[in-house]
Amino acid sequence: MRKHSILLSGLIVAGLTACSGDQLNVVNLNNPDVERAFATPDGIEGVVGGLGVQLNNPQRASESVNNQAKIFAGENFATVNNFGMAPRSIVPRGVLINSLGNEVQAGNLANYNSFQRIARSANNAIRAVDRLVANGSSLGSPARNARAKAFGFLILGQALGNVSLGYDSAAIITPTIGSDEVPGLSGARAVNAAAIAMLDSAIAIANSADATNGTNGFPLPATWINGTSLSRDGFVRLARSYRARLRAGVARTPAERAAVDWQAVIADATNGITADHNVQLDPSLGWTAVYDTETMYLVGGWHQLPMWYLGMADTSGAYDAWLAVARDNREAFLVRTPDTRWPSGATRAEQQAKQAALVPPAGVYIRNRPTNDDVSGTGWGYSQYEHRRWGATRTAGNVGPYTDFSATELSMLAAEGYIRTNQIALAIPLINASRTRNGLPAIPAGTSATAPIGTLPNCVPRVPVAPNFRSTACGTVLEAMKYEKRMETAFTGYMVWFTDNRGWGDMVATTPLEWPVPNLELQARQLPIYNGTLQAPVGTYGFQ
């Protein structure tokens, strides 16, 4: 990681200076003096206020493991080589090659570097506030101090949490770590636990007496999370929502997902956000979601929706016919479904006629693309469909709201917790709230965990069934929850499909389940470079 290599070099220089008497007593401004950079109240708060955009943009970048994760999870398919998308689309997948100069090296490093660096910046800001108070000063009031520290811990928790979702190891950075220290690498679960502890601190500070003692405390300035001015209660709810996401998302296997503390997830999810948490994108202010609202709107192989999971919406039998064909010979088919997030119509022309160029009607997330924009080919990734939920933002110069955390994502985390703790009756209303809002019939009250939620042919979702996985049956309550979560979290958040499909055991066989520490970080630490070898077995739906 570049940050670490610079910091290690700085420590070496400091050691040489100490050994050479007074010969090198000049301040080296190329070696950052963190304490000097955080010496004034305005400087500290300025750094804190800039943490939100630093966290936001790498999550949505085209060059990122999040973009690769969309391919791995069946959320996206691309035929262009840019950002490693075409190489990641190959099935069987193969191990994650981490050798120096590999073709996806830049993307493998990008999120690791960004999140570890942001964690360091947030940590330095928290420590700077503490030094300020210890020296008898403040940002202006105890409330203002608390606001800055709570936000710093929120960003620190997310940064550590995000790296724990994707990578097998990382450095744990907390306020016990000085700005001149380089922690060793810890496993993903330990990093995740540290992330949750940082979110605990954010919540505790926001709930403290100091948070209401004096002026200029909560709400957050709307520039810290662009377009969103969070009250103290809203801040706590958001932090609890991230905590629920991270607890569930770190699991690499179904056994680990089952072992999640679901009571804690339920407690957070039922006391989290009550509406979508959006950020206002505006490139002129530095807030972007480059892949989700820009790159994937390019035509010619940059994006289409594969049908592994989304085909479960189809009630016409076309998905069954698609499953019956060998994987590499599958062809695009028309999806007919009562789900209103899809374009309606009995023919492709009818579906195309009901939508504008990029902006689908309100409530519709998916468009049947113009036929002339099709990329020719056969195989599992080709379809007639594109995700266009952010079309209005795209046509407005990439200015507009983007959902960082869907309220439905959170309610489905609660629903999953209820299902896993044998409280099906509490899960069904949460799932139905999303289903009925989008044209699907409610799951009948009293439906058991193993019973189908409807009858063929009109139930959604229809899931592949063993032993051959070449035909479908009506899904269960659990499958209905998965379907709603996939539809509502597509191209939102960070690695949501990937962490869910990994933990549910739904991945296409041979899909990598985590990234190794990037080769440049290992090289800077003088550690051996290794490949990522953890891969998915044949899963729930038999995809391979």
500-509: average pLDDT: 98
118-132: average pLDDT: 96
489-496: average pLDDT: 98
**Interacting residues of 30 by C-beta distance below 8 A, sequence separation 6+:** none
Distance CA 356, CA 320 (A): 30
Q: Over 70: is that where the pLDDT of 8 sits? A: no
Q: 220: part of which helix (H) or strand (E)?
A: none
Mean model confidence pLDDT for the chain: 93
3-state DSSP call for residue 426? helix
Domain residue limits, the chain:
2-64+94-257, 293-401
pLDDT category at 33 given cuts 50, 70, 90 is low
Question: Per CATH, the architecture of 2-64+94-257 is what?
Answer: Alpha Horseshoe (1.25)
Q: Which of 21-30, 116-125, 442-451 has the lowest mean pLDDT?
A: 21-30
Quick one: pLDDT at residue 357?
79
Distance CA 196, CA 188 (A): 12
Q: Over 60: is that where the pLDDT of 397 sits? A: yes
pLDDT category at 354 given cuts 50, 70, 90 is confident
Distance CA 381, CA 86 (A): 11
Quick one: pLDDT at residue 34?
63
Give pLDDT tens digits for 279-309: 999 999 999 999 999 999 999 999 999 999 9
Quick one: pLDDT at residue 24?
32
Sign of CA dihedral 169, 174, 179, 182: negative
Q: Over 50: is that where the pLDDT of 7 sits? A: no
Sign of CA dihedral 400, 405, 408, 409: positive
Residue that the structure tokens 């950020």 belong to? 279
Give pLDDT tens digits for 208-259: 999 999 999 999 999 999 999 999 999 999 999 999 999 999 999 999 999 9
Q: Over 50: is that where the pLDDT of 14 sits? A: no
Residue that the structure tokens 């969103």 belong to? 228
Give pLDDT tens digits for 170-197: 999 999 999 889 999 999 999 999 999 9
Quick one: pLDDT at residue 35?
65
N- to C-terminal Cα separation, the chain: 34
Q: What is the pTM of this model?
A: 0.93
Strand pairing category for 366-368 and 277-281: unpaired
